[in-house]
Amino acid sequence: MGCDLGTTNSCVFIREGEKYKVVVNDKGNNTTPSVVLFDKEGKVVTVGKDAKKEATLKPELVVFEVKRLIGRRFDSPEVQEFRKIAPFKIIPGKNGDAWVKVGEKEYSPQQVSAFILQKMKQITEDHLGRSVRNAVITVPAYFNDAQRQATISAAVIAGFGNPKDLEESRKMIRIINEPTAAALAYGVDKKAKLHTVVVFDLGGGTFDISIIEINEGLFEVKATAGDTYLGGANFDQKIVN
């Protein structure tokens, strides 16, 4: 299973024969909002579109864009910037990382991401009719090691890999840079000669630009830059204002 665990939306791909296809969710959509609804006690109610619908009525119980927090320290500039606009509580965890508090419970970003990944896993399993343990998950090229490891931890919590064997889980759960995945999807690796491509990734919450050097099917991200607070959601906010 391939998963684009996005800031605002997520989607899953599978390979059937020689073709890759997007798996639609239970609403018939290609993408699922990366949004989790909790009750007043802090228990998960639902994930996806139904959770997003409650954001206006129950803003303190709806957690979204948790990708902005994963693997980050609470006192980091990025987290403090997000706290200004997030209607739910973002608190310092015991380890100094950013956590969220919903109702009576506290969750790490990995745990919230795991709820989203569980939803994507269920969508895939319902389509295939069997259990799925292996996953390839995309992350921004600028993600550091802590953020990548936190994403793997979220996948293990969600039921991917082998919870009893961390080393085996690392083989079953792969992390790939989002621009590399995009380049592969467009077949730019088919050229035999050394060449360089620029990938623009304008998502719901972020805008990333990456320069990738490709040589005989091997990808190397040479440089990456962008704006972690420029995306479709920001365009919407400007229109509203």
Please report, for the domain that includes residue 130, its CATH number: 3.30.420.40
Tell me whether residue 192 is exposed, middle or buried, using C-beta atoms within 10 angstroms of its C-beta: 0 to 12, 13 to 18, 19 or more.
exposed
Q: What span, in angstroms and rounded, lies between the C-alpha atoms of 130 and 6?
A: 25
Q: What is the pLDDT of residue 158?
A: 96
Whether 198 is covered by a domain: the verdict is: no
Q: What is the pLDDT of residue 219?
A: 85
Q: What span, in angstroms and rounded, lies between the C-alpha atoms of 119 and 98?
A: 23
The number of distinct structural domains making up the chain is 1
Whether 54 is covered by a domain: the verdict is: yes
Confidence (pTM): 0.91
Whether 150 is covered by a domain: the verdict is: yes
Q: What is the pLDDT of residue 169?
A: 82
Whether 181 is covered by a domain: the verdict is: yes
Q: What is the pLDDT of residue 193?
A: 78
Residue whose entry in the numeric block shows the structure tokens 């992390």:
175
Whether 119 is covered by a domain: the verdict is: yes
Whether 27 is covered by a domain: the verdict is: yes
Q: What is the pLDDT of residue 165?
A: 80
Tell me whether residue 229 is exposed, middle or buried, using C-beta atoms within 10 angstroms of its C-beta: 0 to 12, 13 to 18, 19 or more.
middle
Which residues are identified as catalytic? 4, 67, 178, 201
Q: What is the pLDDT of residue 192?
A: 63
- Domain span including residue 126: 2-189
Spatial CB neighbours of 120, under 8 Å, sequence gap ≥ 6:
1, 3, 5, 10, 11, 12, 32
Q: What is the pLDDT of residue 90?
A: 98
* 3 state DSSP class of 140: coil
Whether 29 is covered by a domain: the verdict is: yes
Per-residue pLDDT of the chain (241 residues; tens, 9 = 90+): 999 999 999 999 998 887 889 999 999 999 999 999 999 999 999 999 999 999 999 999 999 999 999 999 999 999 999 999 899 999 999 999 999 999 989 999 999 999 999 999 999 999 999 999 999 999 988 899 999 999 999 999 999 998 778 778 878 999 999 988 888 887 766 666 788 999 999 998 889 899 999 888 788 889 988 887 788 988 988 898 8
Q: What span, in angstroms and rounded, lies between the C-alpha atoms of 58 and 69?
A: 21
Whether 221 is covered by a domain: the verdict is: no
Residue 126 carries which side chain, given as an amino acid letter?
Answer: D
